[in-house]
A and B are shown apart, each in its own frame.
Chain A
């Protein structure tokens, strides 16, 4: 009940921020373009997807068309994920530092709520807002492709959940940094730094960072960091494969679940011990 009130309050807080409207606006623009542009035509040779009436490629059998549509959906989902990360992190990174600001945290914690509940409510509220944004875009694109091209790919719908999951794991880092620093800028910079400069090198460490030193300790540290922090690139690639209807391993999803849980647990512990 109280966590739900916090989630609701956080959704309302984020609804007052312009940055998420920018994301929704971009999504809406892409949706309108997709609805107007995407179509399918059939001929004796097979079917083709059309873009503003112009066929994309040569006619293919219906089954192949589904595969092509899957690839299109995967690229749209990839683009959406980038947008969600950029705008979503900007929009939500301030939620935890704002809640912990002097004058605000005092009121929250004077109510009969535990500190972990405050953290959980704020975290889940932010993730819920991102989920709504993703569902809006993915659901609408799914409808557009279904109605106009006759392709109803249920894997694509699943990508809404996967993308939210990946964001939730990344947001655990931002939450941790937000609790430690109580500073929005540090939380944002830390999140982006991890995403663009740490996660990918760690993912490809065997072909890259390993070459810098043969030390076992050095490689152990890299491996430790890799398994301790959410594996965003591996999950992103896995999600794209699922959308395209290909098989994937769920190990990065499970490991990231554990690392996100550890980060959130650590944040809750730090919050529990802190004096306000």
Chain B
């Protein structure tokens, strides 16, 4: 089942009163997110990531296109019973304590008072805020507010969780804890939709990733699909590769380099790779591993964005 689906979704904002300037925040955006996944939306500032989430939460209305969350056509207030949201730069009432914030937004989410009373303690425990539950929010640090925000987003036990920069301002230990919470939620069948600039984080937790730039979807796939270059292979070798063998192998492929016990071969096809392997084996070079070379998500992201930027 699809948790989120958008079809040709577009949003154009009009800025200015006397000379209105139209800004396309999202253009013809089609996306499908299965239930039980951690899905990340990547893109530079102003790419349209937050606009997309806001349209899914009916905080902004689309100019054209359609979207569904948990199979319900938007806008639909009732679908928000099953959704949690941690916005970027959220503000909580400073005069409330952490516990009161969770109770307040739990009441607004329509959680039964008895359920809410039983849920607040474990939630604050989960996000590591139990010991500060009685402290006024205005005294919280940025990292503490993020944790509280996550608890707030989880207060109605949502099926779909939208998180906009959830680890912003959180220390590395806290980030690891949040990652673990997200994995745990995924295990429970929840769908998590993540907007983040921290690509290393996204790489660690996401099942699928979409890259967005200037309101347009550039690519969508698994992290592996996005980071696999497709033409380069890493060949692990034990011991020396004779210079003559190395030179002969280099003639078979687009490029061959050596770094320590590893050869990096740029091949046009798997046949070229096999020729290199055959040659190495013929000369009794011990092969310890063969793997496709993967770039980091950050490298892939930058390559996609800059590629798109080229005329």
Contacts and interface: CB of A to CB of B under 8 A. Distances in A.
B87 A107 contact: yes
Contacts of B91: 101, 103-104
B134 to A, nearest CB: 16
Interface residues on B, range: 20 to 34
Interface in B57-84: 57-61, 77-81, 83-84
B83 A110 contact: yes
A111 B59 contact: no
B13 A275 contact: yes
Contacts of A101: 91
Contact of B59 (A109, A112, A114): A109
Interface stretch (B106-114, B124-132, B168-176): B106-114
B58 A109 contact: yes
B50 to A, nearest CB: 9
A107 to B, nearest CB: 6
A108 B109 CA distance: 9
A37 B54 CA distance: 61
Contact of B152 (A13, A107, A109): A107
Contact of A276 (B54, B107, B152, B162): B54
Contacts of B78: 112
Most chain B CB within 10 A, of A2, A8, A101, A106, is at A106
Interface string A258-276: 0000000000000000011
A219 B105 CA distance: 50
A110 B107 contact: no
A109 B13 contact: no
Interface residues of A, number: 25
B274 interface: no
B89 interface: yes
Nearest to A108: B108
B115 to A, nearest CB: 13
A5 B110 CA distance: 10
B105 A111 contact: yes
Contacts of A108: 108
Contact of A110 (B57, B88, B96): B57
B121 interface: no
B89 A102 contact: yes
A5 B59 contact: no
Nearest to B107: A5
A17 B109 CA distance: 26
Interface in A204-262: none
For B80, B85, B107, which residue has the most chain A Cβ atoms within 10 angstroms? B107
A188 interface: no
Interface in A100-133: 101-114
A122 to B, nearest CB: 12
Nearest to B55: A275
B93 interface: yes
A123 to B, nearest CB: 16
A275 B110 contact: no
B60 A276 contact: yes
Most chain A beta carbons < 10 A, residue from B88, B95, B108? B108
A1 B85 contact: no
A275 B104 contact: no
Contacts of A111: 80, 105, 108-110, 156
A114 B90 CA distance: 20
A103 B108 contact: no
B71 to A, nearest CB: 16
Contact of B105 (A103, A107, A275): A107
Nearest to A110: B85
A106 B77 contact: no
Contacts of A13: 93, 95
Interface string B36-64: 00000000000000000010011111000
Contacts of B84: 110
Contacts of B108: 2, 5-6, 108, 111, 113
5 contacts: A103-B91, A104-B91, A107-B85, A110-B87, A275-B54
Interface of A: 1-2, 5-6, 8-9, 12-13, 16, 101-114, 275-276
Given A104-B92, A109-B58, 5 more contacts: A12-B93, A103-B89, A106-B90, A111-B109, A275-B54
